[in-house]
Structure 1
Amino acid sequence: MRISVIVITYNWPQALDAVLRGLARQRELPFEVIVTDDGSDEQTKQVLARHAQHFPVRLTHVWQPDDGARMSRARNRGIVAARGDYIVLLDGDMVPGEHFIADHHAFARRGCFVQGSRMLPDERATKRMLAHKRFRPHFFTRGLQRRRHALRLPWLARVWAFPRVNRRGIKSCNMGFWREDLIAINGFNEAMTGWGREDAELAVRAFNYGLMRCDLRFAGMATHLWHRSRKYEGRSINDDILDATVAHGLQRCEQGIDAHLGEFTQPPIDLRTDAAA
C-alpha cells in the first residue's frame, strides 16, 4: 500500500517546517508528501526548498492563487496529484508523532475511512515546540489539552477502532481515505469556502456512499499547534450545503474533484530533483 500524505498550508511557514520535520522522521515513511497550498507567499516555498535538500521521500508543492479560503479546492487538487493508493489528510499545523504513518497504515481497511485525533498545546507550549526543534510533547507536558491522545496504546486502539456511522468529532486535520473512495464521492465540496463544515459534509457523503468510520485513538498521534480561532459565529452558506447533503442523502457533490482530473496527467515535480540540480 502506497500512502500519500496531503498537507494543506497557508502562510504559516514555521508550522509547516515542524510538520515536514515530523514526516521526515517517521518510523515507516509514506510514499510521498504533497503540500497543497491555498496561496502562500515566498516564505513557504523557501521552507519547502530547504527540506527538499534532504527529504527522505518524494516531496511536491501544489499551489493555487490566494482568492479567499478555498480549502476544499486545495485538498481536491492534492488528492488528484497524489500517486498513492491511500490518502492521509493532514493540516499544515498538525505535527505528527514518529508512528503516525505506521499507525494509519495499520488501521486502514476497505469500506472505511479513518478519523484521527490530536493533542492541543496552549500558546506557550506551541512556542516551545516551534523554538526548540527537538522538543516533542508528551503526556506530562504542561499546557497540553486532550493529553490522553499523547498515549500510544496499540492494543487499546484496536478495541476502540470499531466501524460505525457518527458525524461527531469529524475533523479533516487528521483523516485517512482510500483514494478511490474520495474519487467516487467527488472529494471535497468546492461550493464550500471559508471556515467550517467541509469535513462534515464530506463525511456525510461518505456514509451515504456506504463507508464506515473508524476512530484512531491511542495511536496516530499528532499535535495541533495553537493559533487564534478562525471560526466565524452564526450560520453560513456552508451550513446550508451540509443540511442539503443530509436531507437529500447525497453521495457526490457537483463541484468537486472531477474538475481537476485532467490537471495532473503528469505528476507534479519532485522538489528533491530541483534541489539536486
Structure 2
Amino acid sequence: MKVDIKCSLITPTYNWNEALELLLLSVLNQTVLPNEVIIADDGSKNDTKILIEKFQKNFPIPLIHIWHEDLKNRKPKIMNQAIAKSNYEYIIEIDGDIIMNKHFVEDHLNFAQKGYYLYGSRVNIKESILSTIFSKKIIHFNLFSSGIKKRARTIRLPFMMKFTEIVATRSSKLRGCNMSFWKSDFIKINGFNESLVGWGIDDSEMIERLHNIGIKGKRLKFAGIVYHIYHKEQDKNHIEINNEIERLTKEKKLTFIENGINQYL
C-alpha cells in the first residue's frame, strides 16, 4: 500500500443531495481515507450546503465545499477551482452520482505511478432500485446484488493489475467518474478547458492533452470499483462544439489551453 502518496478526492455536484449523501457515506467507509474531500459545486441550492455542513461536523478529514453561481453547466470551471484549492500531490476524480467500493481510494493509491494516470469502469445501478437505495442509504453492493448492471465489474482481484494494459492514446473506455492523475501533470496542461460548453468531453479532452505531453494511461480492472447511480441523460445540445474542440486538440497535439486552471493558481 502506497501510504506515502497524499491525495485529494474531488467530485462535482449539482442539486442531487440524495446521491451526494451516499457518495459521502462511501467516503467514510474507505479502507484508506483520502487526505481531503473537495466538493466542486456547480451552483446547487442551499440545501446542498446544509447537507455538507451536516457531514463536516464529524467528518474525519477536511471536507471542503467550493461553490459558484448557477449559470448553466460550468463543470470545467468549478473543477479547475477545486483542484487549484487542493492541497495534495495526487487527484482522484469521481462524479457526484458515484458510490465507491470500500477499497476504491486504496486501489487508486496502490497503482498510482509517475508518468501515468489511472482510469476505471463503473457498475450501473438501475432506476428501479433508486428509491430503495436512497431511503435505506445503501452503499454496499456485490456480485449478487439486485438492481445492478455490468455485475462482473464488482469483482475485485487487485493482483490482476499485473496484466493491466498501458495505453499511449486515449481509450474510448475512459470515464471521468473514475480516474486519477498527478496534480503537477494537470497543471502542466492548464487543467480543464473552460471553453467547452454544456455537458461532455471535458474529461476526455483534458486526458488527450496529458497524452500529448507523454503521459500514458493505465486501466483499472478488478480494482477501483465504483457504482454509478442511474439518472436521465444530460442535455447534449452543445456536444458538436465540444467534439470539435477535442478533435483539434488531438489533431494539433495541443498540450496547453488558455482558458484553464492558471487563472486560479
Unaligned runs of 5+ in 1: 262-277
Partner of 1:79: 83
Aligned length: 261
The Cα offsets for residues 103-122 of structure 1, whole Å up to 9 and x where unpaired, read as: 00001000000112211011
- Contact 1:196–1:231 at 8 Å: present in 2 too? no
Partner of 2:219: 215
What is the alpha-carbon distance in structure 1 between the residues aligned to residue 172 and residue 26 of structure 2?
A: 28
1:142 matches 2:125 = no
Letter in 1 for 2:172: R
Partner of 1:107: 111
- Contact 2:121–2:174 at 8 Å: present in 1 too? no
Q: How far apart are 1:197 and its partner, in Å?
A: 1.1
Partner of 2:188: 184
Partner of 2:157: 153
CA change 1:219–1:126 in 2 (3 A) is: farther
What is the alpha-carbon distance in structure 1 between the residues aligned to residue 96 and residue 54 of structure 2?
A: 16
1:25 matches 2:24 = no
Q: How far apart are 1:36 and its partner, in Å?
A: 0.8
- Contact 1:112–1:163 at 8 Å: present in 2 too? no
TM-score normalised by the chain length of structure 2: 0.94
CA change 1:127–1:161 in 2 (3 A) is: farther
What is the alpha-carbon distance in structure 1 between the residues aligned to residue 165 and residue 30 of structure 2?
A: 22
What is the alpha-carbon distance in structure 2 between the residues aligned to residue 164 and residue 241 of structure 1?
A: 20
Q: 162-171 or 42-51: which moved more? A: 162-171
Q: Please state whether the residue corresponding to 2:82 is helix, strand or coil.
A: helix
1:227 to 226, 231, 235: 231
Aligned pairs for 1:84-99 (under 5 A) are 84-99=88-103
Letter in 2 for 1:22: S
Q: How far apart are 1:245 and its partner, in Å?
A: 0.7
- Contact 1:161–1:217 at 8 Å: present in 2 too? no
1:54 to 58, 72, 76: 58
The Cα offsets for residues 177-230 of structure 1, whole Å up to 9 and x where unpaired, read as: 100000001001000021111111111101001000001111111111000111
Q: How far apart are 1:232 and its partner, in Å?
A: 2.1
Q: Please state whether the residue corresponding to 1:141 is helix, strand or coil.
A: coil
Partner of 1:117: 121
- Contact 2:93–2:180 at 8 Å: present in 1 too? yes
Aligned pairs for 1:5-44 (under 5 A) are 5-44=9-48
Q: How far apart are 1:240 and its partner, in Å?
A: 1.2
Which stretches of structure 1, 4 residues or more, deviate above 6 A after TM superposition?
Answer: none
What is the alpha-carbon distance in structure 2 between the residues aligned to residue 250 and residue 217 of structure 1?
A: 29
Q: 97-106 or 159-168: which moved more? A: 159-168
Unaligned runs of 5+ in 2: none
Letter in 1 for 2:123: M
Partner of 2:248: 244
What is the alpha-carbon distance in structure 1 between the residues aligned to residue 58 and residue 10 of structure 2?
A: 19
CA RMSD in angstroms comes to: 1.4
- Contact 1:164–1:214 at 8 Å: present in 2 too? no
